[in-house]
Structure 1
Amino acid sequence: MVPSTEELLEIARTYWPSEEDPNQEPSPEAHLLHALWQPKLADPGPWDILIDQLEQAFPQDSIGDITTSRDASFWCAIYPRRTPERAGLHWVYVGCASIIAPVYTVYRVLFEYGERRMFRQLDLEPPAVEPAVTLARLMESTMGLSLLPPDIANHPVPVFVGWKSPPKTTLFHALFTSEPDNLP
């Protein structure tokens, strides 16, 4: 079950600062998020199982665990297999499992593949196509998370997350990432 918007706002305020620090020192909230990451990164668990399941479900694609502790979520991506004959536009599907709330999201990023990869489009609505459908199903069954509805994900939150600042910061940024299109 998805927590209420009010509960999610309170969670965001716990792990992200409401004021910008001119000295750019880590905030007390940043220390709390860092402390939360330590046991999650050290102990293999449902996330590792999910990555294995995705590799089995999509053997023709590349599965990447792209998690970084600067965000508030585990990240994975399903990349199309790259070959010279597969140049052109391709969607990369991304799944994020929040570590601060029992929610996940699935979205996609359109890249143009050629000599180098170029960003073209970001689609934050969970698409009802494969592999997004299977990714969502596995995130729910393996991790016990609920999909964060787009209307709640887009709710503004008065905190600073990465380079996002109020009034542009949303619950999506606070619970998952402030740079959804910045994929390795």
Structure 2
Amino acid sequence: MTPSAEDLLAVARLYWGADEAYLFRQDPSPEDLRYEALWAEKNVERSRWGSFVKTLRKVLPGCDAWDYAPGLANPSFGVLIYPHQERDMMRPQTRWTVAGYLSILAPVYTVHCVRRVFLGKHLLEAKAFLGPIPLELQDVASTVARRIEEEFGATSLPLDVAQTPVPLYVNFMKPPATTLFHALFTSEPENIL
């Protein structure tokens, strides 16, 4: 069962500040200390997550799957799935990535897509799509979701709950733009490798 937005906000408040009082201070806030302690505890599960990503590589042979858990930057374990596609270095190309995140704060996950436009190796644009998955990526996204549920027992966070505004400062996100999605998964969903 998916926790309510109120329950998730209560959990997020333990790890993210409601003001910028510690922004320019050298010492960490109480929320920072709890967040760092939780990550220290959850790092024990990093090898389990790595095995999960290896399993995805086997079950999604037309894709590359990579572990994406950039330390303390995100409150989640992440996987990025890159469907194989031909590349043309002479004209802009659109590349899609399926991103799956398992929150370390609550037993919830999300799967969404990121569209990036490149000219050669230069990134021109990146945009996260938290809503409906494009048709050509639905099988990949469904596989990632199903495997997270099976392996970790997490439930999918519905989009309407994920988009609930929260009065918290999450990395560079500030109210009123901050949502539960940012607090539970990543503050920069379009910023991927």
**TM-score, normalised with respect to structure 2:** 0.87
Q: Using a 3 Å threshold, how does the CA distance of structure 1 residues 103 and 43 change in structure 2: closer, same or farther? A: closer
The answer as to whether partners of 2:17 and 2:169 remain within 8 angstroms in 1 is yes
1:75 alignment partner, SS class: strand
Residue of structure 1 equivalent to 2:113: 108
User: Is residue 125 of structure 1 aligned with residue 126 of structure 2?
Assistant: no
Aligned to 1:92: 97
C-alpha deviations, 1:46-98, integer Å up to 9, x for none?
42232122111122322111102221111110013365459721210000000
Which structure 2 segments of 5+ residues have no match? none
Corresponding residue number in structure 2 for 1:30: 32
Secondary structure of the residue aligned to 1:131 is helix
Task: Return the TM-score normalized by structure 1.
Answer: 0.91
CA shift, 1:5, in A, is 1.3
Q: Residues 24, 162 of structure 1: CA spacing in aligned structure 2 closer, same or farther, 3 A cutoff?
A: farther
Correspondence for 1:140: 149
After TM superposition, the structure 1 stretch with the greater mean CA deviation from structure 2, 35-44 or 63-72, is 35-44
- Residue deviations 1:124-145 (CA, integer Å, cap 9, x gap): 1252612111111111111110
**Paired letter, 1:59:** P
| 2:162 pairs with one of 153, 156, 174 | 153
Distance 1:92 1:80 in 2: 7
For structure 1, the residue ranges without an aligned partner over 5 or more in a row are none
Structure 1 residues 150 and 43, CA gap change in structure 2 (3 angstroms):
closer
Structure 2 partner of 1:76: 79
Q: Distance in 2 between matches of 1:144 and 1:46?
A: 13
Q: CA deviation at 1:114?
A: 3.6
Aligned length: 184
Partners of 1:49 and 1:142 within 8 A in 2 = no
What is the identity percentage for the equivalent residue pairs of Structure 1 and Structure 2?
38
Q: Is the partner of 1:130 in helix, strand or coil? A: helix
| Alignment-derived partner of residue 16 in structure 2 | 16
Cα distance in 2, alignment partners of residues 55 and 22 from structure 1: 40
Q: CA deviation at 1:42?
A: 3.5
Change in Cα spacing, 1:24 to 1:75, as seen in structure 2 (3 Å) is farther
Give the counterpart letter for 2:95 in structure 1. H
Distance in 2 (CA, whole Å) between partners of 1:46 and 1:125 is: 28
Q: Provide the secondary structure at the position in 1 that maps to 2:73.
A: coil
d(CA) in 1 for partners of 2:150 and 2:44?
A: 22
Displacement, 1:4?
A: 1.3
